[in-house]
Structure formats: structure tokens, C-alpha cells
Amino acid sequence: MTTPRVPYPITAFSLACSLGHTTDACLAELRAGRRGIRDVPFDVPFEANVGAILGELPSLPAELAAYTSRSAQIATLAYPEIEAAVASAKARYGAARIGLVVGTSTGGIDRTEAEYFNYFDSDEKAGWKPSAAYQYAKQHTFHACADYVGMLAGIEGPRLVVSTACSSSAKAFGTARRLLDLNVIDAALILGVDGLCNTTVRGFNSLGVMADEPSRPFGMDRPGMNVGEGAAYVLLERESDAPRAFLRGVGETSDAYHMSSPEPNGAGAEAAMRDALAQAGLDASAVQYINAHGTGTKYNDAAESKAVIRVFGDEVPVVSTKAYTGHTLGACGAVEAIFAVKAIEEGWIPAAIGADPRDPEIEVHVPTEIVETQIDTVLSNAFAFGGNNCSLVIGREA
């Protein structure tokens, strides 16, 4: 029997993704119904659309330049917006009492891809010899980006990476909350980050789920997903005089069914949603908006819809913001948690772009126009390879 858990205030956040370089820029595009979906910005032997960030990415500070990867650059892009809040937390708690929990699926794999591809494209066949600038440990590994952000932010508490594919940064909220419960930290900086790379774009294409047009989650004859990229920081604290919202529940379950396909009836997803609600001490009727995992693939959307129907019925608005951002993979949990907080703060639900006409097999309520309404509680889903499920409940009040 799950008992209600201590709610922790979300005190600051920042976001960069294909919609824009700041949280406000991303929200403005979301509100305007404009997608950040475009052609793949590198050569691939097929047609596909992705959620690529436009413009030059910033360089890392000179003293940390050895950590450069696309993920680290995107993390750098999003950092200035949350820097002051991190500084305040350090002043309040001390750097050693602030943890860093990073959710990513591929880390800085693009750096190794670039080096490896250069080797293949060269005449050098004696063996792969990376350039002098390449440093596997500081660029490719999972912990490379965590080390980089830890040093950038000057925080010294526990530093770890949760990498459960597309649920990574949603589960980072669970890990961060438990570290607060355990009293080994007083604040956690959560970062969800993933950069576009050949591995994921070509990998999802190999599974036959990449769309060559903008995705249409829950729509009829939906073409599949658009891989995306982004970085989203969320600061979770033990207490706050100015909370933006509260993390109320984190449900984490496994399908125990298949490595890359969801359990068709969404049983694991249902269990995660029910657990998150129980941890929040809330009934399903308390939720006014569900930010769906909603990848836009046939089977994922169908399974999620079935699970949502059993828990919430068919009246709660269900929207997938991946239609706007693309599927930011390991970053999506944190990206969409920020959308959830903004929905509570500003009282609107994005239009489910591309969902008209809706797939007749999708029974949940998918609003295709912006809904303006008071929102006190949002549930946000993230599901992943390996049958890994995570649902967050975020509320206005503790």
C-alpha cells in the first residue's frame, strides 16, 4: 500500500529545445501552435523529420572545453537561465548539500560518431586513430556531461546519471526526491539532456518508427515519431518561500513484457500512474491535464490511451508536446515536467497538434485547440525501452 510522500517544491527551471533557446521562447512557440520539427541536420540515407535546435550552440567555458559534446553544448545553452537559482541554493545549503541527477539516453555519443566517421571517410585504413581533441571519458561517457555540469554549476553533492532511455530524466525526479528523503542533500539540480545523433536517428529508423513528416500523436494514420533534442534543468529543494509547483508523486514500474514494444494494454503504464497518484495522496479526479508520453507511434499511443482510460476515464485532456518538440528521448521527462509547471502557472493546455482527425482507437480526450482553464495538478508520463515506465504528478499545492 503506497502512502503519500513528502512533496518537494520545484523552485526554478530552464529549457532549450527545438522550439527555442529559452523557456519563454519555447512556451511562446507552444502557445502559437508552431512546431520545432525540421529536416535532419546531418546526412542520413533516408527521409526523416526531427526536432533539431536551430542556430549555433554555445561553446563550453574555456577551462571546461575538453568536455565538449552536443549534449554538453545544449546543457550550456540552457544553463544561464537557472544559474542564479543554483547560486541561491548554494548560498542557502552549501555546495556539498546539492545533488546533481542527470537523465540522458546517449550522453555525448556524437563525439565518438564524428571521430569514427572521419576515420571511415579517410584513406587511413591502418586502424582508427581519434584526433587529439577526442577524449572519450570527458565527452562520450554518461558521466561526462554530469561532471561538466557539476563543475559548471559548482555543486558538490552526489552526482549521478539515470539512463533508462526515454524515461531517464523523469526517473531523475524520483532519484532526486529519494536523496532528499534520505537527507543526504537539501536540493537537487535535475538535468534532462540529449543531443541529436546518428545512433538514435538511424536506430529508430531501423525500427520503422521514424516519420518523414511532423508526428501526429494520437492522430489517425500517424506516421511515427520525430527524434528531438534538448536540455531541461529543474531545481528541486527541501523547502521554499516561493515554490513554482510541487513534485507530488513519482510512479516507477516495469512492463516485464518486451525490450522495445509496450505491453499492448498499458498495464505497466497504468501501474506507474496509479502509484504516482497514491504517492501524491490524490484521486484521479484531481488531475486536470495529462502530458502524455505520446511518441506518435502506432503501438505506444494506443497502449498509453488504454492505460489512461482505465485510470482517468475519457474527459481529462491528454496532449503530447512531442508533436512540437520531437521526442527528446532522455530529456523528455524534464522537458515535459517544465511544460506541466507552466500549465499550472499560466492555466492553459497546448493544442494537440496533428491529432485531428483522431485515431478512432484512441479513446482519451485529445483537445486539438488550446484549453484555457485552472490547472492545479498535472500528470506527466515517460515510457521507455525495456518496458520502463515513469509517471510524475506535479501540483500547485503541497
Partner 1 sequence: MSAEIYLVGAGYFSPTQHTLSDVIEGVQREPIKPPCKLVASRMKRATSMLTRMSVEVAIQATEAAGWLGEEPSPFAMIFGSAHGEIQIAIEQMKMMKEEPFVVSPARFKNSVHNTAAGLFSIAAKNKGFATAIAGGAETFAMCLLEAFSLLKTNEAQRVLVTTGEETLPEPIADHTEHDNAAVALAFQSVPSESAIARVSLPQFGPAVETEFGLQSNHSVGPALALLLSARRGEFGSFALGSRASGFFEGSTKRGWSLEMSPV
The residue ranges that bind partner 1 (CB under 8 A) are 3, 5, 45, 96, 105, 109, 112-113, 116-117, 120-121, 127-130, 135-138, 140-144, 146-147, 151, 158-165, 171, 175, 178-179, 181-182, 184, 198-199, 202-208, 252-260, 267-268, 271, 384-388
Cis peptide before 357 (omega within 30 of 0): yes
Residue 392 beta carbon to partner 1: minimum distance, rounded to whole angstroms: 15
CA angle 246/22/67 to nearest 5° reads 95
- Cβ proximity to partner 1: between 212 and 363 the closer is 212
From CA 219, how far away is CA 293, in angstroms rounded?
14
Residue 127 beta carbon to partner 1: minimum distance, rounded to whole angstroms: 7
Residue 323 beta carbon to partner 1: minimum distance, rounded to whole angstroms: 24
CB neighbours (10 Å) of residue 247? 30
Instruction: Spot the catalytic one: 17, 26, 145, 166.
Output: 166
Residue 156 beta carbon to partner 1: minimum distance, rounded to whole angstroms: 8
User: Please, what sign has the CA dihedral across residues 360, 362, 368, 374?
Assistant: positive
- Cβ proximity to partner 1: between 25 and 398 the closer is 398
Instruction: Spot the catalytic one: 17, 293, 332, 365.
Output: 293
* Pair 145, 86: CB distance under 8 Å: no
- Could you give the 3-state DSSP secondary structure of residue 145? helix
Active site residue 258: no
Interaxial angle between packed helices 70-78 and 80-93, expressed in degrees from 0 to 180 and rounded to the nearest 10: 70
From CA 383, how far away is CA 294, in angstroms rounded?
9
From CA 328, how far away is CA 324, in angstroms rounded?
11
Residue 141 beta carbon to partner 1: minimum distance, rounded to whole angstroms: 7
Active site residue 17: no
What is the signed CA dihedral for 348, 279, 284, 215, rounded to 10 degrees? Answer: 50
- Cβ proximity to partner 1: between 19 and 149 the closer is 149
- Cβ proximity to partner 1: between 3 and 374 the closer is 3
- Cβ proximity to partner 1: between 179 and 362 the closer is 179
Active site residue 166: yes
Catalytic residue numbers read 166, 293, 327
